[in-house]
């Protein structure tokens, strides 16, 4: 179906590579005006490009100041892989993402859609509820203490898993936050996707990654994920709120069945 997002102005973070680049491409193809945000310059398939470090609070504030009004969609796609230090990873994947979203809401049009790119790594969030609740008061200033208290260091990729667990819960919590303006928030959770950061996951997860590869028929591709993001940005999904679409080749269902002996 063509022209799903025709005429819409959509911000895509992490627009220069991987899922973000393919999302920018398909949104442009579908008639959207894409505003790309990334550290790496790439002007392909974007109407405007903004270079920004999403780990830095002041940079995020400056970015939002220069963005136009009337934004119809925000794709929170930018993220760091589990090989990165926990403090930087949590700044980008969680703190920066939330800060950007809250700051940009006044510039969103009524009826806008926010799509958070989460991960299969967030599937186990029910086991991390206490840490997730504690993260509601997480800031740039208390980050190191939080990492120590809740044991979300980079060891074993825990910081990455936690960032996605907390993001999924935050998505559900904001199901009705801006309902009076018709603004909705949802998430997409890819499984292992063949992007430039896939080797980082394999390096960090080791045997766990090998088990996933052996279970699946193939890794995902950005082309598997971007259309799902575009769908959530379209007017076809105005009554989908606080929901997570698991675009993971069936891995989440596999894990759920195994956990319950099904």
Backbone angles phi, psi at 260, to 5 degrees: -110, 10
Residue 59 lies in a domain: yes
Structure confidence by residue, pLDDT tens digits, 9-35:
999 999 999 999 999 999 999 999 999
**Residue 211 binned pLDDT confidence (cut-offs 50, 70, 90):** low
Residue 103 lies in a domain: yes
Higher pLDDT, 213 or 182: 182
Strand partners, 74: 11, 114
Residue 2 lies in a domain: no
Residue 228 lies in a domain: yes
Strand partners, 112: none
Residue 113 belongs to a domain with what CATH number? Answer: 3.40.50.720
Residue pair 12/37 in contact (Cβ under 8 Å)? The answer is yes
Domain that holds residue 241: 9-256
Angstrom distance (rounded) from CA 184 to CA 167 = 15
Residue 140 lies in a domain: yes
Q: Quick one: pLDDT at residue 235? A: 96
Angstrom distance (rounded) from CA 121 to CA 89 = 14
Q: What's the structural domain count of the chain?
A: 1
Residue 4 lies in a domain: no
Helix axes 18-29, 222-233, angle to 10 degrees: 50
Kindly give, in sequence order, each residue whose CB lies less than 8 Å from that of residue 201, ignoring residues fewer than 6 positions away: 81, 82, 157, 192, 209
Structure confidence by residue, pLDDT tens digits, 79-120:
999 999 999 999 999 999 999 999 999 999 999 999 999 999
Residue 23 lies in a domain: yes
User: Which DSSP category does 233 fall into?
Assistant: H
Residue 187 lies in a domain: yes
For the chain, report the end-to-end CA distance as a whole number of angstroms.
Answer: 36
Task: Give the pairing type, strands 71-76 and 9-13.
Answer: parallel
């Amino acid at each position: 179906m063509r022209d799903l997002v025709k005429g819409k102005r959509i911000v895509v973070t992490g627009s220069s590579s991987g899922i973000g680049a393919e999302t920018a491409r398909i949104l442009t193809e579908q008639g959207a005006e894409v505003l790309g945000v990334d550290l790496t310059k790439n002007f392909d398939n974007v109407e405007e490009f903004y270079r920004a470090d999403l780990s830095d609070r002041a940079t995020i504030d400056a970015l939002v100041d220069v963005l136009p009004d009337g934004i119809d969609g925000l794709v929170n796609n930018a993220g760091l892989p589990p090989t990165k230090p926990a403090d930087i990873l949590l700044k980008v994947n969680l703190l920066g993402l939330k800060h950007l979203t809250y700051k940009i809401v006044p510039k969103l049009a009524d009826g806008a859609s926010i799509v958070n790119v989460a991960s299969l790594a967030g599937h186990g969030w029910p086991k991390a509820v206490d840490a997730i609740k504690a993260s509601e008061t997480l800031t740039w200033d208390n980050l190191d203490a939080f990492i120590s208290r809740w044991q979300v260091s980079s060891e074993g990729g825990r910081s990455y898993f936690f960032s996605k667990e907390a993001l999924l819960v935050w998505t559900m919590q904001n199901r009705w936050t801006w309902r009076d303006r018709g603004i909705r928030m949802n998430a997409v959770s890819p499984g292992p996707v063949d992007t430039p950061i896939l080797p980082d996951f394999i390096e960090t997860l080791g045997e766990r990654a090998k088990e996933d590869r052996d279970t699946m028929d193939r890794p995902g591709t950005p082309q598997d994920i971007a259309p799902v993001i575009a769908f959530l940005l379209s007017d076809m999904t105005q009554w989908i709120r606080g929901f997570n679409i698991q675009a993971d080749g069936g891995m989440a269902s596999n894990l759920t069945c195994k956990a319950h002996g099904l």
